[in-house]
């Protein structure tokens, strides 16, 4: 990794190009194995159960349990925001990472790193937020860990959640995009990123946008059980919609053409982006899903998603095309086409 | 939790009485479920596989996969120490938490929280340490996450590892101690704690002790496969041997009587404790196992443990006794008995 800087930069954690360089140049260099190397939001692993039941003398092989396993550390600042707090976010984020690989979320772990002096009532609110979100998604927090570090060694509270789920839909993968697939987004993008950004000390906008932070398994399950051919799913968190589309294009070797005017965007989010010169496609969502769906099923999936309260504003925003340059092309509202730049640089540290 | 202070203290993370109060008063209050409530080092969960194999027409139920799931965040300071670094520790710690519940460790996640400006060469050494320890234990790191926080928002690097393993030995539990069980410790206690303590700025002892940080599955597997009746196992990390014994006594409703002179202790560790007035039974080990083994199998287990390079100094250190006061009794080298105090207070922050 000789081309890397010799210190870790904020951009290495932004979810953009620098993050991918760190993952490929360092983590894959040392940890490489076929499961990790898929670089999906969740690992999919096979377990061979020690089947001890009564099988009438039949050896129950080939028998396997396919589970998804994922982890995420949450460092969001501030800890409380419109629409949620770090606890709700930590549950929703990991549940969604399991969900988009086609796994029914079952069990979560919770690891707390707490700065000495952290107010107990705040911790209780956060823990309650986790419990409520977990209950609403029907999952259990089954194991945990608590570390307290001296004042000044951490900023308030960091939470790691890891999760396991059972694969109920096989084959979802970034490399699975097919020509003609419809790209569907389940609602407005960038709500979480905009709501956090507006709270930062340097800003203090009174922005009329809540974080969309929410477990999405209920909506995703409806789509997966419908029999529709879904090829890939992703929650557009760090790096936003742009990061998802670039990852998909890169991994599948296909192109993606999107129509900007079809991307759902709340007016205040658009306004904030205009003021700050930010691309809303780089802003984090925490309660949205992007689907790549086979062409013939796209109407059906759109209808299902829109029938769910969290998916009312879903839109088909683009198509998968053959394109040897593997680029993501964005059609502007006045009909011109431009390549959509992948997210890079510092973006917003501690957005999730 | 009205009796608690209204701010989180270092002692809440020490693994002693205050940690247990936080777990019971806050986390169990909100997250309570039968799996979490066992409060073992790993959760044991049942998965019902979607058994899609050919069973000759026999419905393969009751069929289940029993897996262990655990999490641990590592905040050790300093990051490098004699015998290891935070990366090796993060792998060994989680592997050991799976192992002591009777689960063969299979897959780990790795979540990094990195402070902006952290030296890349140090990160690479740590990642290499993780890879080497994982390889030596035959497990795979299959999923991960990287967050970078601005300078001053964290102290260097924190790592969370979560892990899943397959239960190969059922029934290990803190509440499973039986009268007459032998308490066996696999080697000298407190090596990790002493080696970290000596490196702290305020100390700078040149202590001739390495951290014992090491995956213990290989040794544990030998014991479990031997057919010996093991009732409980634990790695004596935060709070040391004393925390394990108190947890076992409390959960099982039994008493434990130990003989102090049988507890293996390296001379420099003993010396450091004498100078600082610390109880070595409160010091962290990261490559040791405490076993509660049925009386008739204790010689056999001791022999197996001693046959392993990491268990040469194993000793029977005590017995489980009936004791309505549920206390841990320590017999001193001059024959008097005293109650062993549970660990409490600040102990050593950032020891693991």
Picking from B7, B36, B146, the nearest residue to A12 by CB comes out as B146
Q: Where in chain A is the domain with CATH 3.90.650.10?
A: 174-339
pLDDT score at A108: 97
Question: What token pair was written down for B181?
Answer: 């069980």
Q: Which residue of B has its CA nearest to A72?
A: B145
| Closest Cα in chain A to B55 | A60
Determine contact, residues A215/A136, Cβ cutoff 8 Å: yes
**Alpha-carbon gap, residue B96 to A93, rounded angstroms:** 27
- Rounded to an integer, what distance in angstroms lies between the CA atom of residue A300 and that of residue B140? 39
Distance between A163 CA and the closest CA of chain B, angstroms: 9
Whether A323 and A246 have beta carbons less than 8 Å apart is answered as no
Torsion angle (degrees, nearest 10) of CA B10, B15, B18, B24 = 130
Q: Does A176 touch chain B (CB under 8 A)?
A: no
From chain B, pick out residues whose CB is under 8 angstroms from the CB of A148. 8-14, 349
Three-class secondary structure assignment of A132-184? HHHHHHCCEEEEEEEEEECCCCECCEEEEEEEEEEECCCCCCHHHCCCCCEEE
CA distance A50 to B47: 12
Closest CA to A352 of A139, A168, A185, A193: A193
Identify the CATH number of the domain defined by range A174-339.
3.90.650.10
Subunit contact B118:A7, Cβ cutoff 8 A = yes
Report how far residue B71's alpha carbon sits from residue B145's, in angstroms, rounded to the nearest whole number: 14
User: What confidence score (pLDDT) does residue A48 get?
Assistant: 64
* Sheet bearing B337-339, strands edge to edge: B230-234, B290-293, B182-185, B315-321, B255-259, B328-331, B337-339
Instruction: Enumerate the residues of chain A whose CB falls inside 8 A of the CB of residue B47.
Output: 47, 49, 65, 67, 106, 166
CA distance A50 to chain B (A): 7
Q: Is the dihedral of CA A336, A340, A345, A351 positive or negative?
A: positive
Q: Looking at chain A, which residues constitute the CATH 3.30.1330.10 domain(s)?
A: 32-167
Nearest to B148 among A4, A12, A123 (CB): A12
* pLDDT per residue as tens digits for the range A86-135: 999 999 999 999 999 999 999 999 999 999 999 999 999 999 999 999 99
* pLDDT value for B343: 87
What distance in Å separates residue B166's CA from the closest CA in chain A?
A: 8
Where do we find the tokens 């213990």?
B216
Query: Within chain B, what is the greatest distance between any pair of CA atoms?
Result: 71
Q: Using omega within 30 degrees of 0 as the cis cutoff, is the peptide bond preceding B78 cis?
A: yes
CA distances from A244 to A248, B7, B33 (A): 6, 40, 36
Respond yes or no on whether the N-terminal peptide bond of residue A62 is cis (omega within 30° of 0).
Answer: yes
Indicate whether B266 pLDDT > 70.
Answer: yes
Indicate whether A3 pLDDT > 70.
Answer: no
Q: Do B73 and A110 touch (CB under 8 A)?
A: no
Q: Is residue B205 over pLDDT 80?
A: no
- The pLDDT value recorded for residue B15 is 87
Exposure pattern of B192-230 as b/e (b: 16+ CB <10 Å)? Answer: bbbbbbbbeeeeebebebbbbbbbbbbbbbbbbeeebbb
Mean pLDDT, chain A, rounded, equals 91
Q: Quote the percentage of chain B above a pLDDT of 90.
A: 79
Q: How far apart are CA B295 and CA B301, in angstroms?
A: 10
Name the CATH superfamily housing domain A32-167: PurM-like, N-terminal domain (3.30.1330.10)
Half-sphere exposure for A342 (CA within 13 Å, toward CB) = 19
pLDDT, tens digit, 9 for 90 and up, residues B129-142:
999 999 999 999 99
A169 in contact with B, Cβ within 8 Å: no
Rounded distance, CA B234 to CA B228, Å?
16
More confident residue, A1 or A141: A141
Instruction: Decide: helix, strand or coil at residue A212.
Output: coil
ipTM of the complex: 0.94
Chain B residues inside the 8 Å CB shell of A170: none
* pLDDT: which is higher, A299 or B51: A299
Percent of chain A residues past pLDDT 90, beyond the cut: 79
């Amino acid at each position: 990794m000789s081309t890397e800087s010799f210190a870790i930069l904020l951009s290495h954690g932004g979810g953009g190009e620098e993050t991918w360089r760190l993952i490929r140049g360092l983590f894959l260099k040392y940890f490489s194995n076929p499961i990790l190397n898929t670089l999906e939001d969740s690992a999919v692993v096979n377990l061979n159960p020690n089947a001890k039941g009564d099988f009438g003398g039949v050896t129950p092989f080939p028998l396997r349990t396919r589970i998804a396993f994922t982890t995420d550390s949450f460092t969001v600042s501030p800890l409380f925001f419109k629409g949620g707090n770090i606890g709700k976010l930590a549950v929703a984020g990991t549940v969604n990472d399991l969900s988009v690989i086609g796994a029914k979320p079952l069990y979560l772990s919770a690891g707390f790193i707490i700065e000495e002096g952290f107010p107990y009532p705040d911790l209780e609110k956060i823990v309650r937020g986790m419990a409520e979100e977990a209950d609403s998604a029907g999952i259990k927090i089954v194991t945990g860990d608590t570390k307290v570090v001296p004042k000044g060694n951490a900023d308030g509270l960091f939470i790691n959640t890891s999760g396991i789920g059972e694969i109920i839909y096989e084959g979802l993968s970034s490399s699975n995009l097919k020509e003609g697939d419809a790209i569907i987004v389940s609602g407005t993008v960038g709500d979480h990123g905009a709501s956090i950004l507006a709270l930062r000390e340097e800003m203090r906008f009174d922005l009329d946008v809540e974080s969309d932070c929410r477990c999405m398994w209920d909506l995703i399950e409806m789509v997966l059980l419908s029999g529709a051919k879904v090829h890939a799913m992703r929650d557009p968190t760090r790096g936003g919609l742009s990061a998802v589309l670039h990852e998909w294009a890169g991994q599948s070797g296909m192109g993606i053409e999107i129509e900007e005017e079809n991307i759902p965007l709340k007016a205040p989010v658009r306004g904030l982006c205009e003021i700050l010169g930010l691309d809303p496609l780089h802003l984090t969502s925490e309660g949205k899903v992007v689907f790549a769906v086979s062409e013939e099923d796209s109407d059906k999936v759109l209808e299902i998603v829109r029938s769910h309260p969290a998916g009312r504003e879903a839109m088909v925003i683009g198509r998968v095309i053959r394109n040897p340059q593997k680029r993501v092309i964005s059609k502007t509202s006045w009909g011109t086409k431009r390549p959509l730049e992948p997210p890079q640089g510092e973006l917003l540290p501690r957005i999730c």
